[in-house]
Amino acid sequence: MKILKLAQLREWLHSDSQRMRMWATYQLIENHDDQAKVFVEDCLDSEDEEICEAGIFLIGKHKLRDHEFRLLGIFQHSKGRMKRASAIALCALDSESSRSLLWALVENADGTGGTQHPRPKLCGGMLGSVLK
């Protein structure tokens, strides 16, 4: 059930109240998911890591290739859960430009330097096991 319109929820993403920002994010994903392209940039611009991570998730889920360059930047400059989220979203986009970066993550994590992996499609179990 859509309680509030998309425009009002987008406005609340910029509220002074962290609780209101989180609630608006939840409502956007729950009730306006099909319009993610309209509000994903608002999520990525958020100071709240959880909201930014929600935006990253939506990019991957809806394969919003317009945000690939920004996603690459997040992947390269972040650590922890933001790096994992952006890696998973980049895999969902199946981007040629991100493959070498994602493989470098796998190779550095397992210590093989890439010598033991034939580099099949990356986003299967290999990346999942590295990102745990």
Q: Would you give the distance in Å from CA 110 to the centre of its chain? A: 23
What is the predicted pLDDT for the residue at 126? 45
Residue 109 inside a domain? The answer is no
Residue 121 inside a domain? The answer is no
The three state secondary structure string of 20-58 is HHHHHHHHHHHHCHHHHHHHHHHHHCCCCHHHHHHHHHH
Residue 22 inside a domain? The answer is yes
What distance in Å separates the CA atoms of residue 1 and residue 38, rounded to the nearest whole number?
19
Residue 119 inside a domain? The answer is no
Mean pLDDT by 10 residues, the chain (132 residues): 83 95 94 92 94 96 94 92 92 83 73 50 50 46
What is the predicted pLDDT for the residue at 109? 67
Q: How many CB atoms lie within 10 A of CB 58?
A: 21
Structural domain for 46, as ranges: 6-95
Residue 106 inside a domain? The answer is no
What's the predicted TM-score (pTM) here? 0.77
